[in-house]
Amino acid sequence: MKRSLTLLGSLLLTFLLVGSLSAQTTLGPGDIAFTLMNMEGQEDDFTFVLLKDVVANTTITFTDDEFFGSSLNTGEGRMRLTFNSAFTCGTEFVFVLTQFNPLFRWSVTAGGSSSGLTLTYPTEGFSFSSGGDNCIAFQDASSTTNNPARYLAAINN
Ligand SMILES: [Ca+2]
Ligand SMILES: [Ca+2]
Ligand SMILES: [Ca+2]
């Protein structure tokens, strides 16, 4: 009996540890809102605000690929934001294009700090044209999918 209780305890601890390592906040439409988009020349930037608290390990992918009726096309870029720590509802994030062609790189800050924020580039080329471009935010296990599990917000010019 004692051994089975110990085993049960170990299993429970394992589930809790695995759960805490992989858990992220599930976001849906309207849980973030874009608050600025500038796409002139090489001075691209955009901002969004969280409308829901997020825990550490939550990710959001941004793309300038277009939405065509039922799915995303390809040919442009994907940029994934990972929150390495928790952030609260109302926090605004500022993205600035810092490196242009051929590798497009961005900075991200909240309250002037990049602490707890990581950007990766699953598909290269994330930058805005001066007209007819867009920024779509979604959540999915894969940042390169054409059929995201959950769209969060979108903005275009
Ligand atoms: Ca586009
Ligand atoms: Ca641009
Ligand atoms: Ca583009």
In a domain, 4, yes or no: no
Confirm whether 38 is domain-assigned.
yes
Q: Could you tell me the residue range of the domain that residue 66 belongs to?
A: 25-156
* CA 36 to chain centroid: 16
The tens digit of pLDDT for each residue in 56-112 reads 999 999 999 999 989 999 999 999 999 999 999 999 999 999 998 889 999 999 999
Distance (Å) from CA 152 to ligand 3 centroid: 19
Is 75 inside a domain boundary?
yes
Amino acid letter for position 137: A
C-alpha 102 – ligand 3 centre gap (Å): 13
Of 2, 146, 150, 13, the residue nearest 70 (C-alpha): 146
DSSP state of 19: H
Q: For residue 14, is it within any domain?
A: no
Overall domain count for the chain: 1
How would you label 65-81 residue by residue, b for 16+ Cβ within 10 Å and e otherwise? bbbeeeebeeebbbbbb
pLDDT at 156 exceeding the cut of 90: yes
The rounded Å distance from CA 44 to ligand 2 centre is: 5
Q: Is 22 exposed, middle or buried (0-12, 13-18, 19+ CB in 10 A)?
A: exposed
Q: What is the per-residue pLDDT across 132-146, written as a single tens digit (0 to 9) for each?
A: 899 999 999 999 999
For ligand 1, the distance from its centroid to the CA atom of residue 128, given in whole angstroms, is 7
Quick check: is 11 in a domain?
no
Q: How far does the centroid of ligand 1 lie from the alpha carbon of residue 99, in Å?
A: 18
Strands 45-50 and 92-99: antiparallel
Please report which ligand is nearest the Cα atom of 125: 3
Q: What's the gap in Å between 106 CA and the centre of ligand 2?
A: 12
For ion ligand 3, residues whose CB falls within 5 Å: 64, 76, 133
Residue 71 located in a structural domain? yes
Residue 73 CA, ligand 3 centroid: distance in Å? 12
DSSP per-residue string spanning 72-109 = E--SS-EEEEEESS-B-TT-EEEEEEEE-TTS-EEEEE
Ligand 1 centre to CA of 44 (Å) is: 13
Provide the whole-model pTM: 0.87
Position 40 confidence tier, pLDDT thresholds 50, 70, 90: confident
Residue 136, strand partner residues: 63, 154
pLDDT at 157: 83
Q: Which two tokens stand for residue 103?
A: 């590798």
CA dihedral of residues 67, 73, 78, 80 (deg, nearest 10): 60
Determine, yes or no, domain membership for 88: yes
Whether 118 is in a domain gets the answer yes
pLDDT averaged over every residue in the chain: 90
